[in-house]
Structure 1
């Protein structure tokens, strides 16, 4: 049986358009010229802005057009069940329905949420959705039961759980659920008076806009996120600056705001030994623009990776690997 990824991009566009929609109608719906539609369906090279407009006209995602994700109608039954439960949990907890549960201990709640995020980052989106629903329920129960003076911490946990729910929904094309969950995340982050989480939620909203082909709103939300989170010259707290730096690398508050890692060195050590090793392993296997430009020696990186896996962390030398991760992600995004 032919898989969705086996088709060419042009063939996928024709299948998504179907017999009911002519090329002229797609051109009108996407704001493109008919000639551009023909070029794309014939296998011609088109840029990201054109792909985004095509996705908007077809009411789908760029990832579907590129074959990275099958159309939603082909979604597995387990994914549909996960989304139904996730949607029910997000909407119920936002209305304070079903939150009168005995909440888990704070450490258990944080561990469960961290596991859910790990599943998401590993690409196990269905599993992440199941864990996200549990995290949302538990975080909402923890907020309801939070004693006076501890509400902000509980709101922060619920923010992270809602944000993860939004990301999972966005990956599955459930845009209404993604917008609802990211909206609840924004409300809780603002109530927690946590500027870092407010900025990360805004960044997440920009991604939801982007997948919905709403480019202007995506750009505005991303810019607002960047401006609000960027440190000023008045910020001299090394832990705060470390949190900002690691946040730009895509790590969430469960890493950057951990209560068990108070110093800059501890945060960097945890990032490199737990979260960066898979990135370095992928660089060694698949290559990196940094290798091509001669900025990083691949053999040297392999040696450093082996040292991280087998020896104790050395702040003086190993902390410089954070620069490698930062440069690789930036180069991969823009080259």
Structure 2
């Protein structure tokens, strides 16, 4: 087969499809037309992010594999594979009650602090640290949970639910859908016991993202809509935690709608997110989730990019308060936003600026960027201007962008 990165995208799709699945079978499994699948395998035209997500889901692989940014079954570094294995063990063993040998579990305060560190590590794109802290909380927290009563049991249950959620988020980011769903199942069970509607709403936001990454876009929208309706606050008297959860769910629904190219619905949802953010007045964080004016604005840019409203996206990105993002914005959120901006710059013919933005992202989050779809999409578009430059960019950031 040769070097995976040296193959064209069409040849990679054909190889992943194999001889057991026909082109019509791939079209049926992905929900795409046979003509589009044929064009994709012949490297004719450009695949949208939505089409790439659907193909990856049907082929049971990751978008980064289709684009050649990582090879099948060996794209992750040894450290990342070990971290995900540790995370998987902790998710399953803690839920099954396999925690022998833990005689003196951490206190509620210590578990809460470790949970917060796991979320901080997640937003810093440090998978090894996420796994280490999450494994500690899940194993020790379950030991404390089964013997706790009253208020302490509610507190530990909420800590565990939030930690299972960060495990689900981390797993989903690497395309480990089954592990993400397992973690989220445990989280939802615990959230019910804690009687915390805000936590429950945020879990639904994560579930919507899992469906989005799996290209089940109608389900992604429905899950976010349902959860938002359940927690919809009064904008005059709703609590800040309700506003945060509602705003985040509106963003989830808007993102999924934009991937379906449903502009009217996406606009409606993002306007609701802006309203919730305006009511909050500042960026806030709860249970590892960030929301506020910054999130609403940066996500709006990405939504307009998905809708191919590139001029509108760049107009939003050029506003004074968007040129200097707040220090509180996480590495993951910041770089995801920059990839959206780079794609818009590329579409607008601002190729030098798009290349510079892509390099910024690759240098800031080298491991994270390997598992994202947009670098390959941007690279292919830049290659129409200069393949040599794109290869240099790929060398600099450590991600092959074109064959």
State TM-score, norm by structure 1: 0.69
Q: 1:207-263 CA distances to partner (integer Å, 9 max, x unpaired)? A: 22222333332222122222233312573445654675578789xxxxxxxxxxxxx
The match for 1:114 is 116
Q: Equivalent residues in 2 for 1:159-198 (5 A)?
A: 159-198=161-200
The match for 2:350 is none
Q: Does 1:58 align with 2:81?
A: no
Distance 1:50 1:150 in 2: 47
Distance 1:269 1:216 in 2: 28
The SS at the match of 2:319 is: coil
Q: Does 1:297 align with 2:320?
A: yes
Q: Is the 8 A contact 1:125 1:171 kept in 2?
A: no
Q: Equivalent residues in 2 for 1:39-54 (5 A)?
A: 39-43=39-43, 44-54=45-55
CA separation of 1:51 and 1:296: change in aligned 2, threshold 3 A: same
Instruction: State the shift of 1:64 in Å.
Output: 3.4
Instruction: State the shift of 1:3 in Å.
Output: 7.4
Distance 2:21 2:241 in 1: 55
Q: Equivalent residues in 2 for 1:1-335 (5 A)?
A: 8-18=8-18, 21-43=21-43, 44-67=45-68, 70-98=71-99, 100-233=102-235, 235-238=237-240, 241=243, 268=284, 292-293=315-316, 296-297=319-320, 302=324
Instruction: State the shift of 1:201 in Å.
Output: 0.8
CA separation of 1:230 and 1:61: change in aligned 2, threshold 3 A: farther
Instruction: State the shift of 1:132 in Å.
Output: 1.9
CA separation of 1:84 and 1:152: change in aligned 2, threshold 3 A: same
Distance 2:71 2:57 in 1: 16
- Stretch deviating more after TM superposition (239-248 or 188-197): 239-248
Instruction: State the shift of 1:51 in Å.
Output: 2.5
User: Structure 1: any 5+ residue segments left out of the alignment?
Assistant: 251-263, 310-320
CA separation of 1:203 and 1:172: change in aligned 2, threshold 3 A: same
The match for 1:315 is none
CA separation of 1:149 and 1:296: change in aligned 2, threshold 3 A: same
Q: 1:75-96 CA distances to partner (integer Å, 9 max, x unpaired)? A: 4444343333322222222122
The SS at the match of 2:150 is: coil
Distance 1:151 1:169 in 2: 27
User: Structure 2: any 5+ residue segments left out of the alignment?
Assistant: 253-279, 302-310, 345-403
Instruction: State the shift of 1:28 in Å.
Output: 3.9
Q: Is the 8 A contact 1:103 1:138 kept in 2?
A: yes
Distance 1:246 1:238 in 2: 12
Distance 2:162 2:111 in 1: 11
- Stretch deviating more after TM superposition (212-221 or 288-297): 288-297
- Stretch deviating more after TM superposition (193-202 or 83-92): 83-92
Q: Is the 8 A contact 1:72 1:173 kept in 2?
A: no
- Relative contact order: is structure 1 or structure 2 higher (C-alpha 8 Å, sep ≥ 6)? 2
Instruction: State the shift of 1:157 in Å.
Output: 0.3
State TM-score, norm by structure 2: 0.59
Instruction: State the shift of 1:117 in Å.
Output: 1.4
CA separation of 1:111 and 1:56: change in aligned 2, threshold 3 A: same
The SS at the match of 2:237 is: coil
CA separation of 1:107 and 1:289: change in aligned 2, threshold 3 A: farther
- Stretch deviating more after TM superposition (189-198 or 15-24): 15-24
The SS at the match of 1:53 is: helix
